[in-house]
Amino acid sequence: MLSDVMEDYLKAIYQLQQSTDDRIKTSAIAEELDVTSPTVTSMLEKLEERGLVDREKYRGVTLTDEGETVALEVVRHHRLLESYLTEHLDYDWAEVHEEADRLEHHISEDFEARVAAALDEPTVDPHGSPIPSADLEPPERSDGESVTEFEEGDVVVVEEVADRDPEILSYLADHGIEPGVELEILEVAPFGMVTARSSTHDESVSIPETVAHHVRVARPVEAER
């Protein structure tokens, strides 16, 4: 049986792999989990012994098929819990990440199935992140890009917002920047500040590059035809 910490590492590696085709460096895992690099190295050795990661010295790690299956199950639990907390228990989307982190390791498969059924088998969580299916097939990567990749005058649709920082989520929600909402890019400053207006709000909002980087958007379907 894997410990909660081991599952956290596998989930972190899986999430980091979603934005790259390269192996995941020890330093990236350390930053993701807010631990030291020696701590990561020690845990990776244990995960390698169990056949959950493939590790190459100085090059980083990838998940094995078994490791990915474990990670996908934890991710599925986490994102279903976030959805349930927001839809049925009136949690704000800025509150659910930490709550789901605490619960994701401790729910049964029966409970997971009941939650999924109560939510009508959702495919994304409140932040727009894809929920792995019940058979734990990896969801397709989004075609979305960071909002910083677009130009003044572009109209885009928010696909996904990173869920780690409650203050950022609250700030974005206050200005109508949520999955499914159209944004008009009004200005892109040379130093990275993006000013945009949501289709649900009259006032524009200025988004620092460090925040904008975590808002993934795509052009509306009509615009791609």
Q: In this structure, what token pair is assigned to residue 50?
A: 């169990």
Counting DSSP H helices and E strands in the chain, the numbers are 9, 8
Average pLDDT, the chain: 92
Can you tell me the distance from the alpha carbon of 172 to that of 166, in angstroms, rounded to the nearest whole number? 10
What is the pLDDT averaged over residues 160-171?
Answer: 87
Summarize pLDDT for 108-133 with one digit per residue, the tens: 999 999 999 999 999 999 999 999 99
Given pLDDT bands bounded at 50, 70 and 90, which one contains residue 222? low
Q: pLDDT tens, 38-73?
A: 999 999 999 999 999 999 988 999 999 999 999 999
| β-bridge mates for residue 217, sequence order | 145, 158
pLDDT of residue 225: 44
Separation CA 127–CA 83 (nearest Å): 9
> What domains sit in the chain, N to C, each tagged with a CATH number?
4-63 (1.10.10.10), 145-224 (2.30.30.90)
Q: Residue 9, Cβ neighbours under 10 Å: how many?
A: 25
**Confidence (pTM):** 0.90
pLDDT of 224 higher than 60: no
pLDDT at position 105 is 96
Spatial CA neighbour of 196 closest among 215, 180, 222, 210: 215
